[in-house]
Amino acid sequence: MDLGFNETEEMVRASAQEFLEREAGPELARSGDADAFWSKVAEMGWPGLAVSERYGGADMGLVALGVLIEQWGANLGRGPLFEFSVLVSPLLEAAADERLKKEILPRLADGSSSAAIAILEQSASWRPEDIRATAVKTDNGWAITGTKHFVSYGDEASQILVAARTGDRPSDVSIFVVNREANGISSETVNHASGTPTTVLTFNETTVDVFRIVGSENEGWPFVEALMQKGAAFRAIQLAGLGRHVLDITAAYVKERKQFGVPIGSFQAVQHHLADMAVSVRRVEQLARQAVWSVAESSPDAAKQVSRAKLAASELIPQVCWTAHQCHGAIGFTQEHDLHLYTRHALSWAVEFGDTAAHTDRLADALEL
Amino acid sequence: MRFEFTTEDEQFRSELRTFLAEQLPDGWTGPVDESSKDGWALNQRMRKALAARGWLVMHWPEQYGGQDASSLRNIIFAEEMAYHRAPGNDRFGTRMIGPVLMFYGTDEQKSKYLPDIAAGGIQWCQGYSEPDAGSDLASLKTRAVRDGDKFIINGAKIWTSLAHRADMMFMLVRTDPDAPKHRGISMLLVDMKTPGVEVRPIYNMAGSHSFNQVTFDDVAVPAENLVGDLNNGWRVGMSVLNYERSGIDYVAWGQRAWDELAQFCRDETGPNGLPLSADPSIRRKMAELDVEIEGARLLAYEVAWSQQQGEAPADVASMSKLSGTLANKSVLDYGLQLLGMYGVLESGSPHAKLQGRFFKMRMFYTSGEILAGTTEIQKNLIAWRGLELPRV
Given a contact cutoff of 8 angstroms between Cβ atoms, the answer to whether A369 and B265 are in contact is: yes
Q: Check B301 against A3: CB less than 8 A apart.
A: yes
First vs last C-alpha separation in chain B: 39
ipTM score assigned to the predicted complex: 0.94
Task: Walk me through the domains of chain B, giving residue ranges and CATH numbers.
Answer: 7-89 (1.10.540.10), 125-231 (2.40.110.10), 245-386 (1.20.140.10)
Q: Check A254 against B3: CB less than 8 A apart.
A: no
Q: Check B305 against A272: CB less than 8 A apart.
A: no
Nearest to A264 by CA among B136, B135, B314, B383: B383
Of B5, B287, B305, which is closest to A363 when you measure between CB atoms?
B287
Q: Check B389 against A265: CB less than 8 A apart.
A: yes
**Could you say which residues from 88 to 127 on chain B have a Cβ atom under 8 Å away from some Cβ of chain A?**
none
- CB of B294 within 8 Å of a chain A CB? The answer is yes
Nearest CA in chain A to B390: A266
Walk along chain A (369 residues) and give the pLDDT tens digit of each residue. 999 999 999 999 999 999 999 999 999 999 889 999 999 999 999 999 999 999 999 999 999 999 999 999 999 999 999 999 999 999 999 999 999 999 999 999 999 999 999 999 999 999 999 999 999 999 989 999 999 999 999 999 999 999 999 999 999 999 999 999 999 999 999 999 999 999 999 999 999 999 999 999 999 999 999 999 999 999 999 999 999 999 999 999 999 999 999 999 999 999 999 999 999 999 999 999 999 999 999 999 999 999 999 999 999 999 999 999 999 999 999 999 999 999 999 999 999 999 999 999 999 999 999
Contacts of A308 in chain B (CB under 8 A): 290-291, 294-295
Q: Check A364 against B266: CB less than 8 A apart.
A: no
d(CA A66, CA A227): 15
Cβ within 8 Å of residue B332, ≥6 positions away: B254, B257, B358, B361, B362, B365
The class level of CATH for A222-366 reads: mainly alpha
Q: Which of the residues A1, A255, A285 would you substitute to probe the B interface, choosing the one with the greatest number of B C-beta atoms within 10 Å?
A: A1
Spell out the SS3 assignment of A195-230.
Answer: CCCEEEEEEEEEEEEHHHEECCCCCCHHHHHHHHHH
**B244 carries an active-site annotation:** yes
Residues of chain A with CATH 1.20.140.10: 222-366
Residues of chain A with CATH 1.10.540.10: 7-109
Given a contact cutoff of 8 angstroms between Cβ atoms, the answer to whether B258 and B210 are in contact is: no
- CB of B387 within 8 Å of a chain A CB? The answer is yes
Architecture field, domain A7-109: Orthogonal Bundle (1.10)
Read off the pLDDT band of B242 (50, 70, 90): low
Q: Of B62, B244, B260, B311, which residue is the catalytic one?
A: B244
> What's the confidence (pLDDT) of residue B17?
98
Q: Looking at the complex, report in whole angstroms how far the Cα of residue A83 sits from the nearest Cα belonging to chain B.
A: 24
> What's the confidence (pLDDT) of residue B347?
85
- CB of A266 within 8 Å of a chain B CB? The answer is yes
Of how many residues is chain B composed?
392
Nearest CA in chain B to A295: B3
Q: Inform me whether the pLDDT recorded for B244 exceeds 90.
A: no
- CB of A11 within 8 Å of a chain B CB? The answer is no
d(CA A120, CA B370): 49
> What's the confidence (pLDDT) of residue B46?
96
d(CA B44, CA A169): 63
Cβ within 8 Å of residue A158, ≥6 positions away: A107, A113, A114, A115, A179, A180, A181
CA triple A230-A91-A174, angle to 5 deg: 105
Task: Report strand pairing: B168-174 vs B124-127.
Answer: parallel
**Could you say which residues from 281 to 340 on chain A have a Cβ atom under 8 Å away from some Cβ of chain B?**
282-284, 286-287, 289-290, 293-294, 299, 305, 307-308, 311-312
Spell out the SS3 assignment of A278-331.
Answer: HHHHHHHHHHHHHHHHHHHCCCCCHHHHHHHHHHHHHHHHHHHHHHHHHHHHHH
- CB of B315 within 8 Å of a chain A CB? The answer is yes
Residues of chain A with CATH 2.40.110.10: 115-219
- CB of A258 within 8 Å of a chain B CB? The answer is no
Q: Inform me whether the pLDDT recorded for B243 exceeds 70.
A: no
Q: Check A262 against B294: CB less than 8 A apart.
A: no
Given a contact cutoff of 8 angstroms between Cβ atoms, the answer to whether B274 and B350 are in contact is: no
First vs last C-alpha separation in chain A: 28
B247-289 tens-digit pLDDT: 899 999 999 999 999 999 999 998 889 999 999 999 999 999 9
**Could you say which residues from 235 to 274 on chain B have a Cβ atom under 8 Å away from some Cβ of chain A?**
262, 265-266
The class level of CATH for A115-219 reads: mainly beta
Q: Check B298 against A265: CB less than 8 A apart.
A: no
> What's the confidence (pLDDT) of residue B392?
75
Q: Check A274 against B4: CB less than 8 A apart.
A: no
Of B3, B319, B382, which is closest to A293 when you measure between CB atoms?
B3
Contacts of A3 in chain B (CB under 8 A): 1, 3, 298, 301-302, 305-306
- CB of A9 within 8 Å of a chain B CB? The answer is yes
Residue A280, amino acid: S
**Could you say which residues from 350 to 369 on chain A have a Cβ atom under 8 Å away from some Cβ of chain B?**
357, 360-361, 363-364, 367-369
> What's the confidence (pLDDT) of residue B245?
64
Output the CA–CA distances (angstroms, integers) from residue B357 to B207, B270, B347, in the order listed.
Answer: 13, 21, 6
Contacts of A360 in chain B (CB under 8 A): 283-284, 287-288
Q: Inform me whether the pLDDT recorded for B36 exceeds 90.
A: no
Q: Check A271 against B290: CB less than 8 A apart.
A: no
- CB of A193 within 8 Å of a chain B CB? The answer is no
For the CA atoms of B345, B347, B348, B351, what is the dihedral angle to 10 degrees?
A: 40
Task: Report strand pairing: A159-165 vs A115-118.
Answer: parallel
Helix, strand, or coil (residue A232):
helix
